Amino acid sequence: MNRLFYLFTLPWVAGFAGFTAFPLGYAFWLSLTNTDALAPESRFVGAANYAEVLDDGLAGEALVRTLVFTAVTVPASVAGGLLFAVLLQLPVRGRSLYRAVLFLPAVVPPVAGALTFGALFDRDTGAVNVLLERFGVAGPGWTDGPRLPFVIGVLVLWGLGNLMMVSLAALADVPRDLFDAARVDGAGPLRTFTSVTLPLVSPVLLFQVVTGVIAGLQTYLPALVLGSAGAGGSLAALPEGGYFFMAHVYTRYAVAGRFGYASALLWALFVVTLLCAALMLRTTRRHVFTLTSPGGARP
């Protein structure tokens, strides 16, 4: 029996060793050296790279921008997903069509989504500015400056269909008789939502928030696609608003070739991510309601 467990899980374990554990360890080793794409020799420099990370004003700014972006977009999209799920639970006509349409953008590949929003928010020809013009407002440049995070935030909200689907499934799992009991006890729709629905779906919401924050902290793709379009296709000249933490790491890695220093930045982000996840799981322990044993329906 033991043998069988190892046999079946061997591919994943090998993949974990090769593509998760090794890269992380390798990055940590690199972060202690001054490895550079241009310099032939690298040597051990101890914690010097980490000291530079703490001193790196760009990294600090990028981290704050990323944290603020995550703190705004994650709750907004989880709440939005839940709102649509609750509305689609009601017996409205055509709700399967509504559900399909709201889910559709979540399927659009990230690059295509970013390019679409690039066109939509274009300064001269984008629909947003054309409409603003009709109301007599001169639309600003959206993607070439500090407003870029706003565009990316809207892009993230556009794709909340996944979250809606998960919340819909969670709502479908709530036992019907609890709603009936709440009605018999005289609870209105709002009271039923806050006292019955919300506690029962809270584990799923927590899961969405945690995975959302992990994904949010590594936001870079729309920033690179939208930002570099504005900067004539050059990653080295990302507009200020596109400077998310991971975009900073990416430019250090791929553009500057400073593998050692960029690895230290990677590890810094890794630690920040783990701290955020641990903090969220810790602080919500008392507020998240679990009906079944943990390890039940939640992965």
Residue from 5, 135, 286, 287 in contact with other proteins (CB under 8 A) = 5
Residues 162-221 within binding reach of other proteins (CB under 8 A): 162-163, 165-166, 168-170, 204, 207-208, 211-212, 214-215, 217-218, 220-221
Residues 35-64 within binding reach of other proteins (CB under 8 A): none
Residues 97-126 within binding reach of other proteins (CB under 8 A): 98, 101-102, 104-112, 115-117, 119-120, 122, 124-125
Cβ-based nearer residue to other proteins, 50 or 207: 207
* Distance of closest approach, residue 141 Cβ to other proteins, in angstroms: 14
List Cβ neighbours of 270 (8 Å cut-off, separation of 6 or more).
24
Total of residues contacting other proteins (CB under 8 A): 93
Cβ-based nearer residue to other proteins, 6 or 135: 6
Task: Using the rule CB under 8 A, give the single segment among 5-13, 39-47, 60-68, 182-190 that binds other proteins.
Answer: 5-13
Runs of H (alpha helix) within 56-140: 57-89, 95-107, 110-120, 127-134
Task: Using the rule CB under 8 A, give the single segment among 45-53, 65-73, 174-182, 226-234 that binds other proteins.
Answer: 226-234
Residues 134-163 within binding reach of other proteins (CB under 8 A): 158, 162-163
Q: Find the Cα–Cα–Cα–Cα dihedral 10, 13, 17, 21, rounded to 10°.
A: 180
Cβ-based nearer residue to other proteins, 179 or 270: 270
* Distance of closest approach, residue 18 Cβ to other proteins, in angstroms: 6
Contact 220, 262 (CB under 8 A): no
Q: Rounded to the nearest 5°, which phi and psi values hold at 90?
A: -70, 150
Residues 234-293 within binding reach of other proteins (CB under 8 A): 246, 249-250, 253-254, 259, 262-263, 266, 269-270, 273-274, 277
What residues pair up with 44 in beta bridges, in sequence order? Answer: 33
Angle (nearest 5°) at CA 240 between 234 and 242: 70
Cβ-based nearer residue to other proteins, 90 or 184: 90
Contact 251, 227 (CB under 8 A): no
* Distance of closest approach, residue 107 Cβ to other proteins, in angstroms: 5
Would you call 124 helix, strand, or coil by DSSP? Answer: coil
Cβ-based nearer residue to other proteins, 38 or 181: 38
Q: 268: phi > 0 → left, psi -120 to 50 → alpha, else beta; which?
A: alpha
Runs of H (alpha helix) within the chain: 2-16, 22-31, 48-55, 57-89, 95-107, 110-120, 127-134, 148-158, 161-172, 176-184, 189-192, 198-217, 221-230, 245-250, 259-283
According to the binding rule CB under 8 A, does residue 232 interact with other proteins? yes
Residue from 151, 225, 238, 264 in contact with other proteins (CB under 8 A) = 225
Cβ-based nearer residue to other proteins, 33 or 181: 33
Angle (nearest 5°) at CA 29 between 26 and 33: 130
